Amino acid sequence: MPSTQVKVLVLPVLRRYWLFHAWKEVPPQPPGVKPSWKEAVQAKVMGSFQSQWAKLEAAPHGTFNHKLFKFGQYVMSKVDPSESFLKALPQQADGLEILYPASVASLPERFVRRRLRLLAAAAQPFHASRLRLWIGILLPQLPLIPLPLPNVTIYYTIWRITSNRSAGRGAANLAAALELSSDIQRLNLAQQLLQLQQQGVKLQRGTWAEQLAAEADSLHQQVQLRMASSRSSSSSEHAAAEQQSKQLPLPVFIADKHLEQLVEPAERLLSPLPEAAVLRLAELYDQHHLLEHFRAANRKCLDKNQQQQQQQQPHHHHHHQEQRT
C-alpha cells in the first residue's frame, strides 16, 4: 500500500496569531493494485459531492441552486482555521512533517511544538462539547427527513457533526503524537545523563540533571506503555504491526528556508502576512485551499485586534476624564 505522508505548514499571520495548514500526500497506486473498499467508498462519496457542488456552482444567477452555492461558500468561510487544520489530520499515516520558517531567533522549534500542543489540548474538549450540541440539534429534525422538503438545515447539522467529530479526532491524534515525542526526547536525554554517571561523571545532587537521570527507567517504561497503548488491541501480531505502521507517527520538525523567505516572521510582528506571499506558497506546495484558509485566519485575527481596541477605548476615555477632573 502506498505510504501516506502528512505535511503541516506553520504560517505566522500577525503577531501571536499563526495559521496551521495540513494536507496528505499519497503516491499513486502501483499498476494492478486495487484500492481497499474503504478507499473506494470514500472516493465515490467525494466524487459525488464534488459533482453536486460543481452543478450548484454552474447554476444560473438568482436561482435557488445558485443561492445555495453562495450560502455554502459563506458557511465554509466561517469555519475556524484551526478546525480545518485538525480535520485534515488523518488517523493513520506513515510520516508527519511540520514545516516552519527557518529563523531560529524569531520562531524556534520549541515554540512551534508548544503552540501545537496547546491547540490540541484546547480543541479536544471544545469539539467534544460542540459534537454533543449538534447531535442534540439533529434529534428534533430526524422526523423531517422523509418529508419532501428541502433538508438544508439537516444537511448542515450533519456536516457540523462530522466536522467536529473529525476535528476532535485530529486533535486527539496530534496530542498523542506530540506527547509521545516529548517523552522520547526526555528519555533520550535521561539515558545520556545516566550513561555519563556510569562512566564516572558526578551530577550535582538535587539538580534537574540528577533527577532526570534517576527517572530513566521509569521514563523508559512510560514510553513503552504509550507506544503499546497506541497499537491495536488485537491478539494477532500481524494486525498489531499493521496498525502500528498506520497510526499517526512522531512529528518531524523541519526548518524551511522557503517559508523563511516568503513569510518573514520578524516582519509579522508589525504587519500581517500579505496575500501575495500566501499565493506563492500555494503554488510552491500545490495547495489550492491555502488562500481561503489564510483569509479566514486573517479575518479572525483582525476581528480579535478590533475587539481588543474596542475594549481599550473605554479605559482610555475614562482615564482622560480622570485627568481632566
Checking if the pLDDT of 113 tops 50, the result is yes
> Helix, strand, or coil here: 179?
helix
Checking if the pLDDT of 325 tops 60, the result is no
pLDDT tens-digit series, residues 287-307: 888 888 888 888 887 776 666
Instruction: Give the pLDDT band (50/70/90) at residue 104.
Output: low
pLDDT, position 30: 63
For residues 12 and 324, the model is more confident at 12
What DSSP string runs through 256-274?
Answer: EHHHHHHH-TTGGGTSPPP
To the question of pTM greater than 0.85 for the whole model, the response is: no
Range 37-54 average pLDDT: 67
Longest alpha-carbon distance in the chain: 85
Instruction: Give the pLDDT band (50/70/90) at residue 48.
Output: low
Checking if the pLDDT of 188 tops 80, the result is yes
Range 218-231 average pLDDT: 72
Checking if the pLDDT of 81 tops 50, the result is yes
Per-residue burial over 255-291, b if 16 or more Cβ lie within 10 Å, else e, is bbeebbebbbbeebeeebbeeebbeebbeebebeebe
Mean pLDDT of the chain: 78
pLDDT, position 171: 94
> Helix, strand, or coil here: 13?
strand
Checking if the pLDDT of 284 tops 70, the result is yes
pLDDT tens-digit series, residues 134-145: 999 988 888 877
pLDDT, position 237: 42
pLDDT, position 9: 92
pLDDT, position 196: 82
Please give the Cα distance from 270 to 7 (Å, whole number).
28
Instruction: Give the pLDDT band (50/70/90) at residue 129.
Output: very high
pLDDT, position 313: 61
Range 76-80 average pLDDT: 78
pLDDT, position 206: 77
Is residue 4 within 8 A of residue 92, CB to CB? The reply is: yes
Percentage, residues of the chain above pLDDT 90: 17
Three cell numbers written together for 324: 481632566
Range 191-212 average pLDDT: 80
Three cell numbers written together for 185: 526526547
pLDDT, position 70: 80
For residues 67 and 115, the model is more confident at 115
pLDDT tens-digit series, residues 225-271: 766 666 543 344 444 444 444 567 888 898 888 888 888 888 888 88
pLDDT, position 73: 74
pLDDT, position 305: 63
Range 3-28 average pLDDT: 86
Is residue 256 within 8 A of residue 281, CB to CB? The reply is: no
Please give the Cα distance from 17 to 268 (Å, whole number).
9
pLDDT, position 319: 53
- Residue 152 buriedness (CB in 10 A; 0-12 / 13-18 / 19+): exposed
